[in-house]
Every structure is written in C-alpha cells, then in structure tokens.
A and B are shown apart, each in its own frame.
Chain A
Amino acid sequence: MCSSGAVVNVGHSDPPIKIQNAWINDVPVTHPGAAVDLFIGATLMSETKGMEYGGGHVIEDLIRGKSVDLRATAYGTDCYPRTEVETTITKDDLNQFILLNFRNGYQRYNCAVNGRDETIYTYMGKLLPKYRNATYSGAGEIAPLLNDPDYETIGLGTRIFLCGSQGYVIGEGTQHSPSAGLGTLMVKGDAKKMDAEFIRGATFTGYGTTLYVGLGIPIPLLNIGLAKKAAVRDEEILTDIIDYGIPRRTRPPIRRVSYRELKSGKIEVKGKEVRVSSLSSLEKAQRICEELAGWIRAGDFTLTLPVERMPNVGTAKPMRQTKGSAAFVDSIVHEAVTCSEDEAIEAIAKRLVTRNVNHIVVVDAAGKLTGIVTSWDITKATANGARTLSDIIVRRVYTALPNEPVEVVSKRLAQHNISALPVVDGVQKVLGIVTSEDVAKLVGGDCGG
C-alpha cells in the first residue's frame, strides 16, 4: 500500500546537524521533525534509479539488515553547525525504526479494467486495452475489516501481526470510508523486529514505487453476532468493476462483482470473458493467518481490546478546489470539418483550404467516425498519384472523450506524435475535434507535431 512509510531516528553526528535534505540510497527522505528524525515514504523514488527503487525498497533493505547510504545537507545553525554528512548505516545503528502506515488494510477495493484502446499502467497494475484483463486487490473473506465490519474488536490499540512482528492499530486510516464499505487502518510496529518475508518494496511500472505490507488481525469471536460476521464468504463481498481508462475521480462502475467471481480467475465484462487476477498475494495472506494463529496457540501473542473505537460511519470527502479547476476536453472542443468516404480528393483539398483546417474527419451516414484525413495525407496523395479518398484515409484514429482532462489529451497527442484528435461519444459519434494548438493554449509545452 502506497501510504506506508517508516520513521527513523539516525542519531546525532559530531558536530551535530539539523538535517534539511536527506537521501537514503539516493531516495529523498523527508525530515518532518527535529534534527535527525526522518520519514521514509514508500512512494518516494530514487534520484538515480527512478521508479526501479524507492522508499519501499529502502525499508525492505533495512529490514533485511542491509547497509544503506545516508546523505544529508543542512543550512547550519549555532546549535547544529554541520552542513553536510555522509555515512553508511544498518537498522542496528538506528535509535528507532518504526513502520508507520497511515493507510493500510483496505476493507475491499475496486476491480480495475481499461476500456481505452491503449495499454495503461496504473496503481492497479498493467491494464490491457479494450477490457482484455482485470485486476483486483484485497483478500476478500479473510480481509480483517470484512470480518469485523462494525469495528467491535478492531480499534485504537488492537494488537496485530505486522510484517512478521507484533504491531498495533493506531486508529482509522486516511480516507477511511466505513459507510462505503471502504474502511482503512493506520498501523505501526517496530520494524527492527520485522521479517523481510512479509514486506516487499515494489515497482508498478509507469506509476511508481510502493510497499507490500503483511498485515493480520486476530478477531476474537466474543459473541454469536461476531461469529456470524466473521463467517463472511467471498460470494457475499461485492465490489465495483471500474474503467481506469477514464482519467477522472468519479468513474461510473461497469457492474458489481463478488470476490468469489474475482478469485475464480475469470469475470464477464461487457459481454466478454476477461481474465482477472489479484495484485496482493493471497498465498501470503493465507500464510499470515496461519502464522498468527500459531502465535496465539503458543501463547506468544495475546489479544487486546481496543482502547478507543473507530468511526463506523462516514465517507472521505473529495478535495475542495478553490483555484482554477482543471480543464476538460468539452471546454476546448470545436466543430469538426467532416466528409464522407465517397468524396473526391479534390473536394477534400478544397475544403481544407476554404475552412482553413488541417484535419478532416471522415464519418458515415450516422455521423460515426470511420477515419481521418490530414492536409499532409492530401499532399502525399498528390505526390503519389492516389486516386480515391479511401486509399489515403487513416483508419486507426486516436480519439478523445468530452470528459477527459486536457492534460491527458495533451499526453496522447505527444505520445502518438499527432496533431489532432476527433472527440467522440460512447458510440463513436463525432462531437468535434481538438487540435494540438487548442491544447497548447491551455497546457503549454510540446504537444507533438
């Protein structure tokens, strides 16, 4: 889970330093407190290796007992005169090394698919175009918060299994949304005692670094009600299939799906059978259950009651945006100059000139997109002696949707080195066109040719 990290105290140097900027193995770490307290965020990435190594990997390496290189700079004060330091340390050299995850243990999560015609790389993994695969997260019927949905035993102070050691729930996690069935936990534990088998730095290509965290929570069956709730089955746990191809905060769910279907490896999406697999290890989840049960049976782990209950209602709010909200395609789309496939090349050439455009969108009788012709295509056709329009139409057309953010469209133009995108609705009916000039006016920078 990305919202994970570790607090470390690296001890005072001589002369002492009040760290301003610090890096461990070239990963920038933050300095939210006093002189030598650092926070290693899982998603911060190496300045030399980029996405291949990040804060999550630093935490894993430290837990494995590996040496890491610490580099720090400072402005120097009367009490902390030193301005830079470089050293090599292991976890044994740290005063404290505390795993501190501000959002873990998601009750359940979405199932992700991609309706776009290009592969996308997301925090839900690699998603192939046109719903060709699906991914999901969460352990379903063995996920802690699904077994105690009313937060009767899980709360502040609950002792837990955290990465092979004993840790604690220290409250609700960020974005805790119990009313939506999307509860989260904040947890901490002594990372010096953790087992590297249950923690893993990870890279989601094209997205960034993160940290796999092994978390297990014992749920005492104090009464029949709790026993009933803890008997929850995968078929009763539903989540939404979401199209991550839509780059917006709100994405309309395609349909509901149960964890039983997800764990079967195949789901049906828009009439097609789609392979689906998890992103979080079900094998490890099972191992954690067994390990924790073993500790409890051996008397090495005692259960606690929460000191304080967690909120069991409420949902997370979206950001309040007070300045210049993001622009979307529908704010810059303009009328597309169109033609039909049976028109003569000369007529198209004329239209390009009279309408003063570089792109003509080819549509069928129903106004649906069938291709695009640019002024360059016409030039080439003249040079090569092409006779009919159908010889020169570009059929593989990249498009934009009216509700897409302009930044996304700008990226698509640059990626495919093109200068305009027809704007279409859900059934490929042409609504207009956006050009790189329109986008450049808003976004600035290079938007491709």
Chain B
Amino acid sequence: MLRFDNEKVHDPVTSQVILEEKVLLNIMSAYVNQQGGEILIEVAPADAERVAKAFRSKGVTVDVPKLIEKDDKCTSCGACVSLCPMTALGFGAGKKVELDEARCNGVTCGLCVDACPVRAIRLLG
C-alpha cells in the first residue's frame, strides 16, 4: 500500500519508480485526488524490498499489508483453507492450519477473513 501526501501526489512517482527500477507493478486499486492518494500495488516477491525502498526514498509511505492469524483462537477447522488462492493457508503437521505469511496476498485478497467461524483471522494495515 502506497500512501501519497498532498504534495507527493502531484509528482509522477509511480512512473519514476517503474522506469528507474525497471520493475513490473500491478495496480490492484487506486484512490487519488488533490489531497493525496492510496495505491495498492502487487510486485513479485523478489522485487518487493527494492520497490519499497525506491518509493520510500521519494517520500511515499509504504505499508506491506499482511494477514495475521491469531493462533489462540484458531481451532484448525479448515474453513479458510480452500478459499486461499495463494495456497498460503494449508494444513501442517498434525492437521494444524498454518499461514505462510510470505505467500499471503494480504488485503489485496482477504477472502479468508469473513470465512473464519471463530474470527481468528484479521486484516492488518
């Protein structure tokens, strides 16, 4: 998630980063006006750190949204598992439901959140 303040929003920051870093960005959602803006982008995991650094150096606030699973409430029922398009949620040892944070798309997806019967999954960021 990229957040632009009312000054930065007038600069072509996103285009600059794409050109300078020679990276492919996928814009998932964007909300921009004179006061500022929020753009949700998707990048290949290998490029993520480099792209975040590039945006930050240009004065853009970068959040990496992730899903957090609260283990103490999770009963490992599995209601979330089939919904996850990234196979970030799956059964681990002893049939425990595990979340692979590196694979999770976070707020760009969130399909599992309202499917959890015990509300053990929350979106952060």
Binding site for B on A (CB under 8 A): 52, 125-126, 128, 133-135, 200-205, 210, 212, 265, 274-284, 286
Q: Tell whether, in the assembled complex, residue B82 and residue A134 are in contact, meaning their CB atoms are under 8 Å apart.
A: yes
Contacts of A276 in B (CB 8 A): 82
- Report B35-91 residues with CB < 8 Å from chain A CB: 75-84, 87, 90-91
**Do the beta carbons of B76 and A283 come within 8 Å of each other?**
yes
Q: Are B82 and A283 in contact (CB under 8 A)?
A: no
Verify B119–A203 contact, CB threshold 8 A: yes
Q: Determine chain B's interface SS by DSSP, over half rule.
A: loop
A220 to B11, CA, bound (A): 75
Query: In the complex, what distance in Å separates the CA atom of A286 from the CA atom of B75?
Result: 12
Closest to A201 in B: B118
Residues of B within 8 A of A (CB): 75-84, 87, 90-91, 94-97, 111, 114-115, 117-119
Task: Flag if B78 contacts A281 (CB, 8 Å).
Answer: yes
B91 is contacted by which of A135, A203, A212, A265 (Cβ under 8 Å)?
A265
* A/B pair count, beta carbons within 8 Å: 79
The chain B residue sitting closest to A56, CB to CB, is B117
* Chain B residues within an 8 Å CB radius of A134: 82
- Tell me the complex Cα distance, A284–B96, Å: 9
Contacts A283-B94, A284-B76; is A277 near B82 (CB within 8 Å)?
A: yes
Contact (Cβ within 8 A) B77 A205:
no
B75→A265 contact, CB < 8 A: no
Tell me which of B79, B83, B87, B117 contacts A128 (CB under 8 A).
B83
Q: In whole angstroms, what is the CA distance A128 to B85 when docked?
A: 11
Please determine whether B75 and A282 come into contact, CB atoms closer than 8 angstroms: no
Q: Are A281 and B75 in contact (CB under 8 A)?
A: yes
Partner of B115, one of A52, A205, A265, A283: A205
Contacts of A204 in B (CB 8 A): 117
Q: Does B77 lie within 8 Å of A212, measured CB to CB?
A: yes
Contact between A265 and B81, CB atoms less than 8 A apart: yes
Q: Chain A residue with minimal CB distance to B75?
A: A281
CB contacts (< 8 Å) of A279 on chain B: these are 77-79, 117
4 other contacts beyond A265-B90, A277-B80, A284-B76, with CB at 8 A cut-off? Answer: A205-B115, A280-B78, A281-B95, A282-B78
Contact of B96 among A126, A200, A205, A283 (CB under 8 A): A283
On whether A202 and B94 interact (CB within 8 A), knowing A125-B79, A276-B82, the answer reads no
Residues of A contacting B115 in the complex (Cβ-Cβ under 8 angstroms): 125-126, 205
Are B95 and A126 touching (Cβ within 8 A)? Answer: no
- Residues of B near A201 (CB, < 8 A) are 118
> In the complex, what distance in Å separates the CA atom of A279 from the CA atom of B83?
12
Q: Which chain A residue shows the least CB distance to B81?
A: A277
- Minimum CB–CB distance for A110 against chain B, Å: 14
Q: How far is the CA of A135 from the CA of B80 in the complex (A)?
A: 10
Query: Contact at A282–B76, with CB atoms within 8 Å?
Result: yes
A286 touches B95 (CB 8 A): yes
